[in-house]
Structure 1
Amino acid sequence: MTPEMENAFAAIRAEYGADSIARVERMLEPGGSGRHPSQKAAKWIMPGLSPTPWHDPYAYDELAPVVRALEASHRAIKEELNSAWAGRREVFSDYEHYLTRQEDWQALYLFRGGGLVAESAATAPTAYRVVKEAAVETEKICPLLECHFSTLLPGAVIDPHCDLWNFSINLHLAVDIPDGCSITVAGETRSWEEGKCLLFDYSFEHEARNLGIHPRTCLLIDLWHPETTLPERRALVALITEIRRLMGEG
């Protein structure tokens, strides 16, 4: 722990109580916390969060409004996405996962680096508005991560991997889903249903594939895990921001 982290944690404990960030502190203890075998490659596992790979998108009062807003706007979101893909391909870029970069995995960012990507408002106005109103202004989005259109080209495969931690959770709106596409999380394979959302804990090993002949696009949003608390979220932002600073990442 650096002095900056210790000071941030002390301020949170002073405001919310001595035990308010105990789970975050336990996560940092030598040996970490227990984890499911399918989470073995994740960097951080905060104890006390449901060790469940797949979640019901409507099961959490905090997240259900985001799900409803995205699904209600699916038709407009798809039309705007397809228009951008056909006429403004330059706004998409190779997706740079923290593990790798893939040319057959394209991304258009709406939220990145702790804020909305303003230039995307003209390209995908409906998705931008919904994400801004339902997830950013309500502070449901995890500011440490991002929101983007994720397009897998025909034949693309995302190899099995775990993401960094379990204190955020990944919501997918199935925007444009051709035949031959699927996602596997902790050994269970599912398919996207166009216009509907999937929600899963990406600290569990997961992989995806497009074995069809058309691009597959989902809108991905990194949301706070609904079982985390406000003081924990503040502590986690302070922690990861300081770690990234020390690593020269910003």
Structure 2
Amino acid sequence: MTPEVEAAFAAIRAECGAESITRVERMLEPGGGERHPLQKRARWIMPGLSPTPWHDPYAYAELAPVVHGLEAGHGAIKEELNSAWERRREDFSDYEHYLTRQEDWQALYLFRGGGLVEQSAVTAPTAYRLVKDLAVDTEKICPLLECHFSTLLPGAVIEPHCDLWNFSINLHLAVDIPDGCSLTVAGRTRSWEEGKCLLFDYSFEHEARNLGNRPRTCLLIDLWHPETTPPERRALVALITEIRRLMGE
């Protein structure tokens, strides 16, 4: 660890207790502890979090208000999204995953780089307001990642991959879903139900397909894993921010 990370960790331990970030520190040990075979390609696995690929989006008291709020706003969110797709296509861009960039995977960002994307308040006002009120202002969003509309064009395939870590979790609001779309996580395939949310741990190998005849759009939000604690979240932000600084990101 760098002196900056060591200082941040020491401050958290002093405020929250000596054992408050033990799981984060164990994650950094050589080998990083045991992990599920389908998490092998994730970079970091924090020990002690349930190794569950698919989660019930309504099961966590912390996340339930986000889920219910987004589902209640689905009608307006879809209407505004479709209008933006037709009239403000320049606001969408090729999605730049840390592994690749895909022209048939388009993104409209609401939260990125640690803050809200203010332009999207005009493009997608209902989604922007709900994400701000339910996830950003309540600090349920993982500030290390993002929230965006994810649009897969017809025929698009996201190949099997693991994302970086398990201490955040991915929530999908199914905004506009044609027939022929699927999401597979750890070998189990599901379809989106328009207007409903799916929740999964993307440190497990996963893939998505749009075999339909029109674009498939979900609103994706990277939330803190509900089994992480506030001190751990502080430590993880300090750690990943310093790693990104050293890597020139």
TM-score range, shorter chain: over 0.9
Supply the distance in 2 between the matched residues of 1:244 and 1:83 (Cα, whole angstroms): 36
Does 1:90 find its partner at 2:90?
A: yes
Supply the distance in 2 between the matched residues of 1:77 and 1:192 (Cα, whole angstroms): 16
Q: Which residue of 2 aligns with 1:100?
A: 100
Q: Which residue of 1 aligns with 2:165?
A: 165
Q: Which residue of 2 aligns with 1:232?
A: 232
1:28-177 equivalences under 5 Å are: 28-177=28-177
Following superposition, the deviation at residue 165 of structure 1 comes to 0.1
Does 1:202 find its partner at 2:174?
A: no
Does 1:180 find its partner at 2:180?
A: yes
TM-score, structure 2 length as denominator? 1.00
Following superposition, the deviation at residue 132 of structure 1 comes to 0.1
Following superposition, the deviation at residue 133 of structure 1 comes to 0.0
Q: Indicate the percent of aligned positions where both proteins have the same amino acid.
A: 88
Residue aligned with 1:35, SS:
coil
CA deviation profile, 1:170-210 (whole Å, cap 9, x unmatched): 00000000000000000000000000000000000000000
Following superposition, the deviation at residue 58 of structure 1 comes to 0.4
CA deviation profile, 1:134-168 (whole Å, cap 9, x unmatched): 00000000000000000000000000000000000
Residue aligned with 1:12, SS:
helix
Letter paired with 2:196: K
CA deviation profile, 1:86-123 (whole Å, cap 9, x unmatched): 11111000000000000000000000000000011000
Supply the distance in 2 between the matched residues of 1:160 and 1:230 (Cα, whole angstroms): 31
Runs of 4+ in 1 over 6 A off after TM superposition: none
Following superposition, the deviation at residue 33 of structure 1 comes to 1.4
Does 1:15 find its partner at 2:9?
A: no
**Gaps (5+ residues) in structure 2?**
none
Choose 146-155 or 30-39, whichever is displaced more. 30-39
Letter paired with 2:243: I
Supply the distance in 2 between the matched residues of 1:120 and 1:88 (Cα, whole angstroms): 11
CA deviation profile, 1:72-99 (whole Å, cap 9, x unmatched): 0000000000000011111000000000
CA deviation profile, 1:192-238 (whole Å, cap 9, x unmatched): 00000000000000000000100000000000000000000000000
Supply the distance in 2 between the matched residues of 1:182 and 1:116 (Cα, whole angstroms): 29
Alignment RMSD: 0.3
Residue aligned with 2:170, SS:
strand
Supply the distance in 2 between the matched residues of 1:175 and 1:46 (Cα, whole angstroms): 31
Supply the distance in 2 between the matched residues of 1:144 and 1:175 (Cα, whole angstroms): 24
Supply the distance in 2 between the matched residues of 1:6 and 1:199 (Cα, whole angstroms): 33
Residue aligned with 1:207, SS:
strand
Letter paired with 1:117: V
Residue aligned with 1:150, SS:
strand
Supply the distance in 2 between the matched residues of 1:33 and 1:46 (Cα, whole angstroms): 8
TM-score, structure 1 length as denominator? 0.99
